[in-house]
Amino acid sequence: MASKLVMNRLRSLYRDNNSIFSTSQNQAIKWRSCQPSPINPPSPNNTSTTTSSSSVNEFELAKFSAIADTWWDAEGPFKPLHLMNPTRLAFIRSTLCRHFRKDPNCTRPFEGLKFVDVGCGGGILSEPLARMGATVTGVDAVDKNIKISRLHADLDPQTSSIEYRCTTAESLVEEQRQFDAVLALEVIEHVADPAGFCKSLSALTIPGGATVISTINRSMRAYATAIVAAEYLLHWLPKGTHQWSSFLTPEELVLILRRASITVQEMAGFVYNPLTGRWSLSDDISVNFIAFGTKPANRDEPLD
């Protein structure tokens, strides 16, 4: 799924993990206000509220709380995620089955594994993971999202066992919870402190476990497609859903994860075909991309 070019870039980064960005860039990324303009001007007041124990951004919580009722509307604001979900699941199924030595062709390949879906939203990822046999915990800092998730999961006996909680990754760390696989899809671009968030994801991952993150590249192409086109021209997403300055490049994500003791093993891009209306996996990571990483099985094991 990941091209030789992508993997060569990863290996190059691991040889010089200080070559991409300075420590100052590793600090909390301040959020921008979502005024109805593609320019994404700075907010007149600092709307990012961060505590020492959480990377939650209150401005982002309010934004997603306002549209929480539409999570399961396949034609609503979350339509792009519904369309992308089968492709995200294909990557997850392939990488995690290979890592945990499971049969990807069986109906419930994740039987016996514990997963946490961080920033689960309405549960559109948690539910298919549960149907594939995983014991799933879904967490989200927006209370309305959790209520919607529980209501929808209860409609199907295969998903009614999902543990949904209105909490944060940091709170789960304080509870000393750990999981075989930690997933945070389309979440990191909405947190106040990406580096701190990744440290929490790592702490939630058991030694020898896996972490999967997907997000949007901070590239001019991503600005043109994910913001200008998706929000202002095609109206796929509400205006202000994304702030270009809060995106991470693949290189930055790799290094942030490495500093959190997670080694990225595989990366792939998502590309949209407007003719078929479908997403597919690609070597092109210039806009949407997903990364699969692993945590050393023991403290003495060196990062790859």
Annotated binding-site ranges for Mg(2+): 186, 189-190
Binding-site residues for S-adenosyl-L-methionine: 88, 119, 140, 185
Known binding residues: 88, 119, 140, 185-186, 189-190
- In contact, 153 and 129? CB cutoff 8 Å: no
Tokens 């702030």, residue located:
243
Contact criterion met (CB below 8 Å) for 92 and 212: yes
Alpha carbon 223 to its chain centroid, in Å, reads 18
| DSSP-derived pairing of the beta strands 114-118 and 135-140 | parallel
Distance separating alpha carbons of residues 172 and 286, to the nearest angstrom? 32
What span, in angstroms and rounded, lies between the C-alpha atoms of 39 and 144?
30
Cα–Cα distances (Å) from 108 to 93, 97, 104, 184, in that order, read 10, 11, 9, 21
Residue 249 Cα distances to 29, 185, 269, 293, angstroms: 13, 15, 12, 16
Contacts of 130 (CB under 8 A, 6+ apart): 136, 153, 158, 159, 161, 162
Query: Which residue intervals of the chain are DSSP H helices?
Result: 4-15, 58-65, 79-99, 126-131, 143-153, 169-174, 194-204, 220-222, 250-259
Question: What is the number of H-type helices and E-type strands within the chain?
Answer: 9, 8
Distances (CA, A) of 295 to 41, 71, 251, 290: 38, 32, 18, 17
